[in-house]
């Protein structure tokens, strides 16, 4: 009962507090002991922190010295530590051997599990066997066409190998079924930008704004794409540039401080409105953006201040 109370108390601590407690003991598993090591690993999992170094160090200690105390939780621990070993220790023969050992135990316990097959594909990825990994993910999708992880790993592999069009097609097929997947829309927008298909990228950002209109960065990126499409001096589309300006301005309403990308976008749109005579609203926007940018760099005592002032004057004259 006392041990259970101690574990419960540890879980009540935040991830930051647990990491601080581990750091105070030099992140030495033997000094931290079972309870702190276990709760650090659990906290990293629940908070979705990227600490494969700690998970591999503490997790291996738990699995080698205290596996019997973990009960049914041991299988989730094997999976988490396995992934951490692939991420953190892929160049180490010892880490690779441990990862293979843990994968073998999971395969024996869950021989038909698609989740374990996914772990096998991750091992192929970590070993540079990309075609084998692609095929394993494809086998998973044949059994479960809605397996998002397998699909997204295929997209990542295709993108990493420069096969942007094929990666985009897979995301389009996925979004035709799950149109509310914001992460997929973002990935698709990036793939279109890599291929300079700006109108398609703009459509993706429109969908993202519909999904989350309060995300200021969606407005910034949409404004940037519109300006890229229509802001050139020859043959520019004044109406679309004004639309881009509106999105930059709205992004600044959503995030007034530290939003330098929106300020630069606003300045570019105002400069593209024409040299010399500008409307009163444009002049006010220029003055606002110029002052805010100058203050942002002055507050930080940045050596960029002189360069920024020169750039603004060149842009607006």
Q: Which of 72, 13, 79 is nearest to 40 (CA)?
A: 13
Q: Please give the Cα distance from 44 to 285 (Å, whole number).
A: 45
* pLDDT at position 2: 37
With 90 as the cut, is the pLDDT of residue 221 above it?
yes
* pLDDT at position 310: 85
* pLDDT at position 60: 96
Q: Classify 101 as helix, strand or coil.
A: helix
DSSP 5-24: HHHHHHHHS-HHHHHHHHHH
- Burial grade of 256 (CB within 10 A; 0-12, 13-18, 19 or more): exposed
* pLDDT at position 83: 95
* pLDDT at position 66: 95
* pLDDT at position 296: 83
Q: For residue range 162-215, list pLDDT tens digits in order.
A: 999 999 999 999 999 999 999 999 999 999 999 999 999 999 999 999 999 999
Q: Please give the Cα distance from 1 to 15 (Å, whole number).
A: 24
Mean confidence (pLDDT) of the chain: 89
Average of per-residue pLDDT across 224-252: 86
* pLDDT at position 255: 95
Q: Classify 302 as helix, strand or coil.
A: coil
Per-residue confidence at 317, pLDDT binned at 50, 70, 90? confident
With 70 as the cut, is the pLDDT of residue 50 above it?
yes
Per-residue confidence at 300, pLDDT binned at 50, 70, 90? low
In angstroms, the Cα distances linking 106 to 22, 115, 120, 143 are: 28, 10, 10, 19
């Amino acid at each position: 009962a006392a041990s259970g109370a101690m574990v419960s108390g540890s879980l009540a601590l935040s991830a930051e507090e647990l990491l601080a407690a581990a750091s105070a003991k030099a992140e030495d598993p033997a000094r931290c002991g079972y309870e702190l090591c276990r709760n650090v690993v659990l906290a990293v999992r629940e908070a979705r922190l990227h600490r494969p170094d700690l998970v591999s160090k503490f997790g291996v200690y738990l699995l080698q010295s205290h596996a019997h105390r973990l009960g049914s939780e041991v299988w989730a621990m094997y999976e988490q530590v396995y992934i951490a070993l692939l991420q953190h220790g892929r160049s180490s023969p010892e880490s690779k051997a441990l990862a293979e050992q843990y994968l073998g135990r999971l395969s024996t316990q869950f021989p038909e599990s698609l989740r374990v097959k996914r772990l096998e594909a991750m091992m192929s990825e970590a070993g540079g066997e990309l075609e084998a990994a692609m095929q394993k993910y494809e086998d998973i999708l044949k059994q479960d066409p809605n397996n998002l992880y397998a699909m997204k790993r295929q997209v990542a592999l295709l993108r990493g190998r420069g096969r942007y069009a094929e990666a985009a097609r897979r995301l389009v097929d996925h979004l035709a079924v799950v149109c509310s997947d914001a992460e997929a829309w973002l990935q698709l927008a990036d793939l279109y930008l890599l291929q300079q298909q700006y109108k398609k990228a703009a459509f993706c950002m429109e969908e993202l704004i519909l999904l989350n209109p309060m995300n200021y960065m969606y407005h910034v990126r949409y404004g940037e794409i519109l300006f890229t499409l229509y802001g050139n001096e020859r043959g520019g589309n004044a109406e679309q540039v004004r639309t881009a300006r509106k999105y930059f301005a709205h992004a600044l309403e959503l995030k007034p401080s530290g939003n330098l990308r929106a300020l630069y976008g606003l300045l570019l749109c105002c400069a593209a409105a024409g040299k010399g005579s500008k409307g009163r609203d444009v002049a006010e926007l220029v003055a606002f953006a110029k002052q805010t940018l100058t203050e942002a760099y002055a507050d930080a005592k940045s050596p960029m201040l002189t360069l920024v002032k020169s750039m603004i004057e060149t842009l607006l004259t």
